[in-house]
Amino acid sequence: MAKLVTVATVDEIPAGQAITVMLDDYDILIAHVEGEGYFAIDDVCTHDDGPLGEGELCGYAVECPRHGATFDVRSGEALTLPAIQPVRPFRVVVDGDEIKVALPE
């Protein structure tokens, strides 16, 4: 069973923007994809451990600032080289105006 943790309110993450948070031992990027909702993935590039939250979010793709690998924030899938491994996605729940992330227990 996952533990739901409130990370932000909907007003804090405008469409097309992302934030990073540290929850327990997880560094997590939470992105607001316009017209699709909120998504959360590990904030660490699988190629070189770069901080994805320091990269650009374009639509549903976030780019690692170190070497340009991109990841789909909806699924964690690696979209471009040099990354080939996905990042871990986290389930997101919007409850009223609160954005919650499901953490493994």
Backbone angles phi, psi at 24, to 5 degrees: 50, -120
- Residue 93: domain span: 3-103
pLDDT per residue over 43-62, tens digit each?
A: 999 999 999 999 999 999 99
In this prediction the pTM is 0.95
Give me the sign of the Cα torsion angle 2, 8, 14, 19: negative
pLDDT per residue over 7-36, tens digit each?
A: 999 999 999 999 999 998 999 999 999 999
pLDDT at 2 over 90: no
CATH number for the domain that contains residue 41:
2.102.10.10
pLDDT at 1 over 80: no
For the chain, the domain total comes to 1
Do the beta carbons of residue 72 and residue 79 sit within 8 Å? yes
